[in-house]
Amino acid sequence: MKSLTEYLWFNTPKRRDLVNITERIAGLVKQSGVKEGLCLVSAMHITASIWVNDDEEGLWEDFWALLERLTPSGKEYKHHLTGEDNGDAHLKRTLVGYQALLPITKGALDLGPWEQVFYAEFDGKRKKRVVVKIIGE
């Protein structure tokens, strides 16, 4: 069994942002030498997600509108009694999910025709990490 572990660092200038990381992941898969296996992409901070969807700006607006509707950022959350102001960000991660497991076939990411992998930041302007863990043969 081969494995590769890598950490991607983010520090988005905006508090909420989407960053397409598909090419970076594809590069790590090549680097790993794994031909058949699995590639885990997981947001290590609890106010960020991994989102696999369309590389289309209109949809991104719909994504943010949905999340703002379901988990508004202006609300008074109990979590804010700790001094934090990012309760909505924890809940956005809860709804979107924070991991993707990407199949590796014949040495490459085995994605659908429009699947793109995004880092979704809900509380940015600080250094945060994503772990990429590849295993296989």
- Pick from 24, 6, 11, 8: nearest CA to 121: 11
| Contacting residues toward a second copy, per CB under 8 A | 1, 3, 5, 36-38, 40, 42-46, 51-54, 56-59, 61-63, 65-66, 70-71, 77-82, 87, 90-91, 93-101, 103, 105, 110-115, 129, 131, 133, 135-137
CA 98/CA 50 separation, integer angstroms: 5
Q: Quote the tokens at residue 27.
A: 């590069």
Q: Which is nearer to a second copy, 27 or 97 (CB)?
A: 97
Return the SS3 of 70: helix
CB of 117 to a second copy, least distance (A): 11
- Smaller CB separation from a second copy, 13 or 81: 81
Return the DSSP state at 6: E
Q: Measured from the CB of residue 29, what is the shortest distance to a second copy in angstroms? A: 13
Q: Of the two residues 13 and 58, which places its CB atom closer to a second copy in the complex?
A: 58
Of the two residues 26 and 40, which places its CB atom closer to a second copy in the complex? 40
Strand, coil or helix: 61: helix
Alpha carbon distance 134, 24 (integer Å): 13
